[in-house]
Amino acid sequence: MLVVLGAILLITGGVFWVLGRNGFRGMPGDIVYQRGHFGFYFPIMTCIILSILLTLALWLWQWLSRR
């Protein structure tokens, strides 16, 4: 199970890395503040969407394991 989780994290990190290299700077709703040499980024919308997707995935996993 840890190997599968590690593979999923590796693939997700790779997808975000590729998206970042192609100009993706976050979703609308993410908080970005830059002033001089200081930058602050808080991905609130990304966190909400990931939470919803993970909740649905875990719900689906439980539902399939009961069958």
Confidence of residue 11 (pLDDT cuts 50, 70, 90): very high
CA of residue 41 relative to chain centroid, distance:
14
Ramachandran quadrant class, 32 (left: phi over 0; alpha: psi -120 to 50; beta: rest): beta
- pLDDT by residue (tens digit) across 25-40? 777 888 888 899 998 9
Cα–Cα dist 39/35, whole Å: 6
User: Which domain, by its residues, includes 47?
Assistant: 2-66
Confidence of residue 23 (pLDDT cuts 50, 70, 90): confident
pLDDT at 67 over 90: no
Cα–Cα dist 21/27, whole Å: 15
* Cα distance between the two ends of the chain: 20
Based on the structure, what is the number of domains in the chain? 1
- pLDDT by residue (tens digit) across 44-59? 888 899 899 999 999 9
